[in-house]
Amino acid sequence: MKIENYPATIIPKPLSVVYSRGTFQLVPKTSIQVDIGNPEVYQIGEFLADILAIPTGFPFRVMEATQPAAQKQIRLTINNDDPNLEEEGYSLSVTPLRIVLKAKEPADLFEQTQTLCQLLPPFIEKSKIQKG
């Protein structure tokens, strides 16, 4: 399943969008990495893993980010020190190797998982394994 960089309708509308070339493809070994020692972020990672596992059939592994991943990953992180993040704001970056979701608060990170799902093909909402 691919996440492509293409014009998308995202709700709520982002303050800014920067398009780049490339595609992130979900594969069976894609991991979801979360902040160490943050149970709220871990729970959000499990939620995202459950959403993605249904249509893909992939067993997404949620783990604490102890070191940079050597494989494809989705990274969920809280960053209160980023001056570019406004209140209730977040950053979402997609490259061929990583998706990084960054927010100041866990609630904003959770909402960001919904934004990520809006960038996926429509069959992400199916209740059966899909091909592609």
Label each residue of 51-104 as H, E or C. Answer: HHHHHHCCCCEEEECCCCCCCCEEEEEECCCCCCCCCCCEEEEECCCEEEEEEC
Tokens of 112: 């960001």
pLDDT in tens, 21-57: 778 888 999 999 999 999 999 999 999 999 999 888 8
| pTM (two decimals) | 0.83
Question: In which residue ranges of the chain is pLDDT below 70?
Answer: 1-8, 68-70, 123-132
Q: What is the per-residue pLDDT for 70?
A: 66
Q: What is the spatial distance between Cα 119 and Cα 110, in angstroms, rounded to a whole number? A: 15
Q: What is the per-residue pLDDT for 126?
A: 61
Q: What is the per-residue pLDDT for 14?
A: 72
Q: What is the per-residue pLDDT for 6?
A: 47
